[in-house]
Copies of this chain bind each other. A is one copy, B any other.
């Protein structure tokens, strides 16, 4: 906290940008469907670019479409402080998930402009490409290319359900840039996000200081049975892959309940059956499942509990069940220095706050392995997210935006 401790963002102005964003890809129930690199994402990106340029920033766009709007600092050699999140949404997503973090970054730039404040380090507002992974998998691909964990070529070759490549989609909306964005050119990252869980809202806590991330395992389960006619095939001769999938689903669910008092969760989130037709026993199901826990050790136990049950599930369903791990992330601690800045700002401003771990995936989790990184959570109504009814009030987010401003100011100097 500094001589700028009394500076406040213009919350009404921030809210108006959130409202404008909520008009781009609006769903009938008032949420957003703004899939990564869709036409609507292009419209939103151009709007964001126009706002940033009007605020005196220069825009850099890399080949994966990550956008970084840079507000210069005093020191020409100082690396920039990144502030941001993502502007894409789920298919039936909300108006705040990700968007709040990007537009709060823009509001910080505007606020500094209002007060004629020059920081030592540049401040760079970032919009990461395809955080949600709702159109192209894996999720968080923009930040993974930024850190070098994934190659641009790998990212460009991802396809959506219609077979359109991510590269073609980027070019179609004009956001395949040529700027080079790499962690070594930046100082740190601050990401503000809605909690996407109920804890802050239920306990009426104004802020979450995110000290680290849950460990996450994603895995694909394939169930193989045998087709046959649903009429004459006797029960003992059947190998219905949907029956195998039902046993898998309930086994996965049970493990989440077993660990839920220490924060564990498990989910079957996607299931595709084949041939999935009337009159035929399905012979193949592919399911995607997910387990999360604060402890990496416990997550390994949860996975093992599931793998140990596979033979029993195979026997019950007479299907073959194979499991392959698909992704694994989280389980890390955010930078204590950056996190301390956010905690200090919350204390100085007199906001109630609590340390917590993020249970969702965020671009900050990729970046945290390369740059000092901090995350701040604001409450969201009933913890509902990835849902059209996701909601926050201006009062809910004001503490988070203020803390973000002060922490970024402190880091940027």
A-to-B contact residues, CB < 8 Å = 90-92, 132-134, 137, 139, 195-199, 214, 216, 218, 226-238, 240, 242-243, 245-247, 249-250, 253, 256-257, 260, 264-265, 267-273, 275-282, 288, 290, 292, 358-361, 383-387
Contacts and interface: CB of A to CB of B under 8 A. Distances in A.
A230 B267 contact: yes
B278 A272 contact: no
Contacts of A236: 260
B275 A92 contact: yes
A234 B271 contact: no
B243 A268 contact: yes
Nearest to A265: B235
A257 B385 CA distance: 41
Given A197-B233, A265-B234, A278 B270 contact: yes
B256 A235 contact: yes
A268 B240 contact: yes
15 contacts: A91-B277, A196-B229, A228-B383, A232-B360, A232-B383, A234-B260, A235-B256, A235-B264, A243-B249, A245-B249, A246-B247, A246-B250, A269-B276, A278-B290, A280-B386
A149 to B, nearest CB: 18
A268 B195 CA distance: 38
B90 A279 contact: yes
Contact of A278 (B196, B275, B288): B288
Report copies per complex. Answer: 2
A265 B233 contact: yes
Nearest to A271: B273
B234 A90 contact: no
Nearest to A277: B134
A214 B271 CA distance: 32
A290 B243 contact: no
A413 B272 CA distance: 54
Contact of A231 (B134, B214, B257, B276): B214
B247 A250 contact: yes
A17 to B, nearest CB: 24
B249 A235 contact: no
A278 B235 contact: no
B90 A280 contact: yes
A133 B231 contact: no
B235 A196 contact: no
Top 10 nearest A-B pairs (CB, nearest first) are A197-B232, A231-B360, A246-B249, A246-B246, A231-B359, A232-B359, A235-B260, A230-B267, A229-B386, A227-B387
B277 A269 contact: yes
Contacts of A238: 267
A133 B277 CA distance: 9
A199 to B, nearest CB: 8
B197 A269 contact: no
A243 B234 contact: no
Interface centre among A139, A271, A278, A288 (most CB of B within 10 A): A278
A237 B383 contact: yes
Given A232-B195, A260-B234, A385-B228, A242 B214 contact: no
Contacts of A268: 240, 242-243, 246
Contacts of A250: 243, 246-247, 250
B234 A198 contact: yes
